[in-house]
Structure 1
Amino acid sequence: MSEPYLSINLESIKYNSMLLSSKTNRECELIAIIKADAYGHGALEVCQALESINVFAVARLSEGVALKASGIKKDILVFSGINTHRELMQALEHELTVVIHTESQLDILRALPACCELNCWVKFDSGMHRLGLHIDELSRTLSALNDMPYIKVNGVLSHYSSADSDSERSLLQLDKFECAVSNIDINSSITNSAGLLQGYFREQSHARIGLSLYGVSPFSNKIGYDFGLRASQTLNAYVISVRQHCKNEPVGYDGIWISEQDTNLAVIGIGYADGYPRSAKSGTPVLIHGVEYPLVGRVSMDLICVDIGNDSEVKVGDEVVLWGGALPIEHIARCAGVIPYELLTGVSKRVNRRYFNN
C-alpha cells in the first residue's frame, strides 16, 4: 500500500515571490526565509527554484553550511549569528552573512584574521524584546564595526512581534525602527509577511518573506487565497481499511468519540508520527474524491479514522487529502488549535516529498 506523501509545487512558490515583490516599492529586494528546511518544503529545492531571489535567510549556522556545501552560491543570512570562534571560522569558510544581535559578539569578531572579510547585518530591538540591540548599543556596535576594516555591514534589521494581530503596536515598532536608522546611510529591513500584506512598509531596502512565500496567510481570519497567493503543498495519504461500525461503539484510543448510528469508517494511513496533528479534533475534515469526511476519535501515531457514512463509495486504496487544494492548511490548523507554521514544519522525514512545476 502506498505511504503518505507531501506534494510540493515549486511553481506556486515562484509565483508567490513575484506577487509579494509587486507589493513593495521597485527598489525593495526580497529575502526568502528558508529556515526549518524552507518550512518543510526542502531548503535546497526552494533555493534552486527561486532564481529571482538573491538573498536567503536561515535560523542556524548549520542550515547555511549545508546549503553552501550543496552548491548554493547566493547570499545566505544566518539570523542567530555566530557565538564562538569556531562558528566564526565556519561562517568565513562558507561565505555566510551573519546577524550581530549582541555586543558580546564583537569580541569574537575582533579575532577575525585580517586577511578575511565577513558580511553582517546588525539587529535592532524595536519591540520584540528577544534578540537585538537597544538604541545606545546599536550606535556603539555600528561604530565598533566601522573600525573593523574586514567587516562589511550590509544593513540593519528588526522584527515585528505582532504584525499579524496588532496594527498599533506594529506601527510603533516601525516608527521606532525608522527613527533608529534615519541618520544612517544603510540598508534596512523590518517588514515580514504580515507586515507586507498589511501595508506596514515604507522605504526599506529589503522585505523578508516566509510564510506567505509558501502561499499561507499569517492572519488567523484569512487564508492565502484571500491575498492571491497560491498554496505550495498538499499532504496526501491512502485509505487502508473500510470497516463497519456499530451505533454506540467508540473508536480509537480512550474512546473519545462514540457513533450515534450504524456507519462505516475509513482508516487512513497517516498519524502524528507523520506530522498530522494529534490535537486535531473530531470533525476535522479530510477530502476523499473531493468530498469532505470528518475525523473521528483520537489521532494515533500511524492512523486516523474518518466517518464515511452508509452511502459512500470510498474504498481501500483511495487517496486522501489532509490539507491543501480545496482544504486550506489554515483551516486544518484552526481545527487542531495550532498555527499553520506548526503543520508546515512538522511533516516528518518519513513522509516522502514529491516536487513538480505546474
Structure 2
Amino acid sequence: MDAHGAIARISLSAVQHNLQQAKRLAPSAKAIAVVKANAYGHGDLMVASALQPLADMFGVARFEEAQKLRSSGIKQPILLLSGFLNAEQLQFAALNNFQVCIHEFAQLAVLETTPLAAPITAWIKIDSGMHRIGFSPEQADAVFARVNAITQVVQPVNAMTHFAQADEPEQRSITETAIARFQQATAGKVRHTALCNSAGVMAFPQAHSDFIRPGIMLYGITPFAEQQGSDVGLRPAMDFTSSLIAVREHKAGEPIGYGASWVSPRDTRIGVIAVGYGDGYPRMAPAGTPVLVNGRRVPLVGRVAMDMATVDLGPEGTEQVGDEVILWGNGLAAEEVARHVGTIAYELVTRLTARPKLEYVD
C-alpha cells in the first residue's frame, strides 16, 4: 500500500513560464511579482528564488513577509503593498531596500517626522474606485505637494492604483474610467506608475504603464470567472494531490458521512481520500465536485470532514487503496473546482493549512 496524505506539488518552471507570459503581454513594463500570502500558497521563498532572474521587484502585503524574503537572501527591491504601520517599520524599510505604498494620511505624517538612515522610494496609492485604501483623486495634488517636500523620499515619487472590476469583462467601462481618473490625478507629478494586477495585465494593455503587478496569473490561474489558466497560455503551478485510503462496497439507499447529506441511488463503490478541511480542502464542496482518481473524473459525495473526503467510484470502478487523487491541478483546473464550491481559485490555493507538504518538482 503506497497511500499518502495531502501533498501540494509545485512546479517552479510553471511559475517562471507564467511570469514570462505576463511580460510578453506587457513588453515595455517592468514586473513586480506578487508573492504575498506565502506566494498564494505556493511557498514564497522558493517562488521568489525561482523568479529572481525574471522579476524586477517583488510585492508583498505584510511587513513580515518582506522581512522573511530579505533575510532569506532575496536581493530585489520589495514593495510593501500595504505600506508600513509605524516609524520602526519605516526605518527598517529604508535600511533594507523596501519600497513603501503610502495610502493614508497617518502614514504620511510618520514619513514627514521620522528620520531615516537612507532615502526611501514611495508609491502614492490613488483610489480609482476600489474605495478601500488610497487617496482620492481630489486629494492627490495636496498629497504630492507634501511628499515632494520630504527630502528623505526619492524624488519624484511613484504612484499606483488597484482596479476593483478589471476581472469583469462586462464592466469594462468602469475600469476605463478608473484608468482615466488615475492618469488625470498623477499626470506630470510622478516618476513611475503601476496600475495593473493580473486582470489588468491581461485585459487592459493601455494601462500597462511602467510596472505591472502580476499575482494570481503567476500561479497559472486566471482572474476571469469563466476561464481557466490554460485558456490564456498559463500553466497550473500546483497539483494538490492525495490518495485513496479505503475503497468500500456501498449499497443503494445507504447514506455516507456526517449528516447523511448524500444517499446512494445505486449499489456502488466509494473511495475515501486522505484529505479534508484540516488540509485546506473546502468543507463546503458540494456533492458532484469533480476529483481525478488515477486520471478518471469522479464526483465528490457526502460531506467533507476534517481528515477525509469521499467519492463515488461507480459500480464498475477498479481503483484501489493507494491510488493517486488530484483535487486540483493539471487535468482539473482550480478554477473549475472553485466554481463548484462557490468561491474563487485564489481562495483554494491560499487556504492550504500547514499539514499538506509542499514538494517542488522542478
TM-score by length of 1: 0.96
What is the CA-CA distance between 1:200 and the residue it aligns to?
Answer: 4.6
For residues 224-303 of structure 1, the aligned pairs below 5 Å read 224-303=229-308
The one-letter code matched in structure 2 to 1:126 is S
Whether the aligned pair in 2 keeps the contact of 1:267 and 1:305 (CA below 8 Å) is yes
Moved more, 80-89 or 248-257: 80-89
Q: Compute the displacement of 1:86 (Å).
A: 2.2
Change (3 A) 1:115 1:242: closer
Task: Give the conservation status (yes or no) of the 8 Å contact 2:95–2:117.
Answer: no
Does the aligned pair in 2 maintain the 1:156–1:187 contact within 8 Å?
yes
Count how many residue pairs are aligned between Structure 1 and Structure 2: 356
Q: Give the AA of the match of 2:245.
A: I
Letter in 2 for 1:74: Q
Equivalent-residue separation in structure 1 for 2:192 and 2:112 (angstroms): 23
Contact 1:83 1:108 in 2 (8 A): no
1:247–1:260: 8 Å Cα contact kept in structure 2? Answer: yes
CA distance in 1, matches of 2:150, 2:207: 31
Return the offset for 1:110: 2.3
CA contact (8 A) 1:155 1:187 kept: yes
Matched, 1:151 2:153: yes
Partner amino acid, structure 2, of 1:125? D
Mapped to 1, the partners of 2:282 and 2:18 lie a distance apart of 26
Q: 2:336 aligns with which of 331, 334, 352?
A: 331
Q: In 2, Cα distance between the equivalents of 1:151 and 1:296?
A: 58
What corresponds to 1:66 in structure 2?
Answer: 68
Residues 1:160 and 2:163 are matched in the alignment: yes
Given that 2:59 and 2:81 are in contact with CA atoms closer than 8 Å, whether structure 1 keeps it comes out as yes
Q: Which amino acid aligns with 1:34?
A: V
Q: Which runs of 4+ in 1 moved over 3 A?
A: none
Q: Which amino acid aligns with 2:54?
A: S
Corresponding residue of 1:313: 318
CA separation in 2, counterparts of 1:112 and 1:185?
Answer: 23
Between 284-293 and 114-123, report the one with greater CA deviation: 114-123
Please list, as runs of the form range in 1=range in 2, the aligned pairs for 1:100-119 lying within 5 A after superposition: 100-113=102-115, 115-119=117-121
2:18 alignment partner AA: N
Relative distance call for 1:255 and 1:116 in structure 2 (3 A) is same
Cross-structure match for 2:93: 91
Aligned to 1:122: 124
SS at match of 1:152: coil
Counterpart Cα distance in 1 of 2:176 and 2:108: 31
Q: CA deviation at 1:42?
A: 0.8
Q: Distance in 2 between matches of 1:331 and 1:224?
A: 10
Q: Pick which of 269-278 and 135-144 moved more.
A: 135-144
> Which amino acid in structure 1 is aligned with residue 360 of structure 2?
Y
2:187 is equivalent to residue 199 of structure 1: no
Question: Which residue pairs with 2:213 in the alignment?
Answer: 208
Displacement, 1:93? 3.8
- Output the amino acid matched with 1:221: E
Q: Which amino acid aligns with 1:199?
A: F
Residues 56-110 of structure 1, C-alpha deviations (whole Å, 9 max, x = no match): 1000111101111111111100111112122223323433111000122122112
In structure 2, the gaps of 5 or more residues are: none
Q: Which whole-Å CA distance do the structure 1 matches of 2:306 and 2:95 have between them?
A: 42
Q: Name the Cα RMSD after superposition.
A: 1.3
